[in-house]
């Protein structure tokens, strides 16, 4: 039995309607869509993490390596334990909260912030082991489960539009059509997007990968030819010099943080990390699973406790290594779109993260305008989930509509989920169908409403 046959048997590829080649392409696609985090995460966290005796560039590299290792660990657990095609890495939004709100805003030592992430991860491991996380997620209203994929799709679209400057900030309307034709790299990004859509429309396997690589190669060629300024075609110009692999000043720093705790602030920080990570992960798992047709007739993901445990293990490992909360990535949908259906896709992602330890400068050289093509393409594809919503039912229409629209407008998967979850029982009450709502759904809606009221009043973060 060859390696391909052993992999197919280990991950039960055929019964999931896939094959080894498709899984490999899907893993590469997901990795390329996620790889920007290798540069973006340290760029954010290095604003808050300063280590005595080390310069900014050295700290940046330490965090980059911690990012890669935590992503590889979490994704490997997803592959080998959960057998799902989902990639994990330190989450955007959570890292910004870590750096700008907790450390720089509240003045909490970065070691203590890592300790809060560690505690959150351990709590998630315990709650997942006893089935509590899965139980809560199963209580999500069905219209939320059926619409979350489209909401994430719009979120991806908005991010991609911003990165390619298709939309830009505007004082009067908040956003407006960008001046694409005034930026050579933006023009190239839009042309690459059109090329990728064309490949996908023709049913070419690996269309997203081909679009990203082709656009990158053209950009690099134009740079070497002197058409582009070098700074416009790199994700983070000059961010990473020769790799440095000693991260001992960062790894394990959370232990020191446990001795510098102000109990009230620490509990609030842990709770906020806990809340946002819980609902971000839930939304991503359900949304990507909907897109991959993994959900059952009730809109639930079978054996959800396994991917949830992978997420919890990734968060705990990330805190130990020295990075913020690790979560399941919405970019996993890029690999699912390419046909990834098993943990073999995730294993490829994990291995590519490990390989990127050697190729950090190359990975960092993937231009933003090329990598974010994947978000726009997949964002459009994920809108198909809206056909599963019963728009004639008022409770479905309001709940699903808010879930879909609040995500991109609030720039938060968690906020979109919360809007849909709270709206569902309220509309059911209004139309006289209160008995159709599970008592647990009333409890979740009430807790979410209380959370946002307290947050607005500044009682919690």
Q: Which two tokens stand for residue 40?
A: 């973006």
User: Exposed/middle/buried for 307, CB within 10 Å: 0-12, 13-18, 19+?
Assistant: buried
Residue 143: predicted pLDDT? 92
Determine, yes or no, domain membership for 446.
yes
- As beta bridge partners, residue 89 has 327
3-state secondary structure of 106: coil
Same domain, 400 and 277: no
Q: Which two tokens stand for residue 152?
A: 């994430």
All residues at 6 or more sequence positions from 15 whose CB lies less than 8 Å from its CB, including other chains: none
Same domain, 109 and 44: yes
Residue 244: predicted pLDDT? 66
Same domain, 16 and 67: yes
Residue 280: predicted pLDDT? 77
Determine, yes or no, domain membership for 174.
no
Same domain, 130 and 266: yes
Q: Which two tokens stand for residue 298?
A: 């009730």
Report how many domains make up the chain.
Answer: 2
Same domain, 152 and 295: yes
**Structural domain ending residue among the three candidates 348, 363, 378:** 363
Q: Which two tokens stand for residue 159?
A: 């991010």
CB 24 within 8 A of CB 347: no
| Residue 100 CA: distances (Å) to CA of 47, 48, 104 | 8, 7, 5
CA 72 from chain center: how many Å? Answer: 14
CB 254 within 8 A of CB 104: no
* Backbone φ, ψ for residue 130 (5° rounding): -95, 0
Residue 365: predicted pLDDT? 63
Determine, yes or no, domain membership for 223.
no
Beta strands 167-170 and 88-90, pairing class: unpaired
pTM of the model: 0.75
Same domain, 20 and 133: yes
CA gap 232, 40 in Å, rounded: 16
Q: Which two tokens stand for residue 438?
A: 């599970």
SS (H, E, C) 149-212: HHHHHHHHHHHHHHHCCCEEEECCCEEEECCHHHCHHHHHHHHHHHHHHHHHHCCCCCHHHHHH
3-state secondary structure of 189: helix
CA gap 461, 455 in Å, rounded: 6
CA gap 121, 129 in Å, rounded: 12
As a whole number of Å, the CA-based R_g of the chain is 22
Domain extent, residue 285, equals 1-156+244-363
CA gap 365, 8 in Å, rounded: 33
Determine, yes or no, domain membership for 71.
yes
Same domain, 27 and 152: yes
Determine, yes or no, domain membership for 270.
yes
Residue 232: predicted pLDDT? 44
Same domain, 248 and 114: yes
Per-residue pLDDT reduced to its tens digit, 9-65? 999 999 998 999 999 999 998 998 888 788 778 878 988 999 988 888 788 888 989
Residue 453: predicted pLDDT? 87
* Backbone φ, ψ for residue 177 (5° rounding): -65, 135
**Structural domain ending residue among the three candidates 346, 363, 380:** 363
Torsion angle of C-alpha atoms 334, 339, 344, 349, degrees rounded to 10: -20
Same domain, 94 and 19: yes
The string of DSSP letters for 50-71 reads --TT--HHHHHHHHHHHHHHHH
3-state secondary structure of 174: strand
Q: Which two tokens stand for residue 133?
A: 């996380």
Give the residue from 53, 403, 413 showing the smallest Cα distance to 246.
53
Counting DSSP H helices and E strands in the chain, the numbers are 21, 4
CB 148 within 8 A of CB 424: no
Residue 238: predicted pLDDT? 39
Determine, yes or no, domain membership for 453.
yes
Same domain, 123 and 264: yes
SS (H, E, C) 196-242: HHHHHHCCCCCHHHHHHHHHHHHHHHHHHCCCCCHHHHCCCCCCCCC
Determine, yes or no, domain membership for 232.
no
Determine, yes or no, domain membership for 322.
yes
Same domain, 283 and 424: no
Same domain, 262 and 344: yes
Q: Which residues of the chain have pLDDT under 50?
A: 231-240
Give the residue from 91, 367, 57, 95 showing the smallest Cα distance to 236.
367
Residue 235: predicted pLDDT? 40
Q: What angle do CA 30, 354, 41 make, to 5 degrees?
A: 70
Give the dihedral sign, CA 15/19/20/23.
negative
């Amino acid at each position: 039995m060859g390696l391909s046959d052993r992999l197919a048997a280990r991950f039960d590829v055929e019964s999931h309607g896939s094959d080894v080649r498709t899984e490999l392409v899907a893993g590469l696609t997901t990795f390329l869509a996620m790889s920007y985090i290798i540069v973006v995460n340290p760029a954010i966290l290095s604003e808050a993490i300063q280590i005595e005796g080390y310069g900014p560039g050295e700290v940046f590299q330490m965090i980059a390596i911690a990012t890669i290792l935590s992503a590889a660990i979490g994704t490997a657990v997803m592959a080998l334990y959960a057998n799902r095609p989902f990639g994990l890495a330190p989450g955007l939004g959570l890292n910004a909260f870590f750096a700008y709100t907790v450390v720089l805003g509240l003045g909490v030592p970065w070691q203590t912030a890592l300790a809060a992430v560690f505690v959150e991860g351990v709590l998630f491991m315990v709650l997942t082991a006893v089935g509590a996380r899965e139980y809560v997620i199963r209580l999500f209203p069905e219209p939320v489960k059926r619409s979350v994929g489209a909401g994430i799709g719009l979120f991806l679209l908005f991010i991609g539009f911003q990165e390619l400057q298709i939309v830009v900030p505007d004082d009067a309307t908040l956003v407006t059509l960008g001046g694409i034709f005034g930026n050579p790299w933006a023009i190239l990004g839009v042309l690459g997007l059109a090329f990728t859509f064309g490949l996908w429309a023709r049913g070419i396997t690996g269309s997203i990968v081909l679009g990203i690589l082709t656009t990158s190669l053209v950009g690099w060629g134009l740079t070497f030819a002197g058409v582009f300024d070098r700074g416009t075609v790199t994700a983070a110009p000059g961010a990473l010099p020769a790799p440095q692999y000693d991260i001992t000043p960062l790894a394990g720093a959370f232990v020191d943080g446990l001795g510098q705790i102000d109990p009230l602030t620490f509990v609030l920080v842990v709770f906020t990390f806990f809340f946002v990570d819980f609902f971000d992960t839930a939304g991503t798992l359900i949304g990507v699973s909907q897109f991959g047709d993994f959900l059952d007739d009730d809109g639930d993901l079978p054996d959800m406790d396994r991917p949830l445990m992978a997420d919890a293990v990734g968060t705990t490992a990330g805190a130990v290594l020295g990075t913020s909360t690790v979560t399941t990535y919405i970019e996993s949908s890029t690999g699912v779109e390419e046909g990834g259906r098993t943990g073999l896709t995730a294993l490829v992602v994990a291995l590519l993260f490990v390989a990127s330890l050697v190729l950090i400068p190359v990975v960092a050289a993937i231009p933003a305008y090329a990598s974010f093509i994947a978000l726009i393409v997949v964002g459009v594809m994920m809108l198909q989930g809206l056909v599963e919503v019963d728009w004639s039912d008022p409770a479905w229409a309001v709940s699903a509509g808010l879930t879909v629209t609040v995500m991109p407008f609030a720039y938060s998967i968690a906020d979109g989920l919360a809007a849909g979850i709270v709206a569902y029982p309220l509309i059911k009450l209004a139309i006289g169908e209160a008995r159709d709502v599970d008592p647990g759904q009333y409890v979740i809606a009430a807790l979410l409403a209380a959370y946002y009221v307290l947050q607005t009043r500044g009682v919690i973060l």
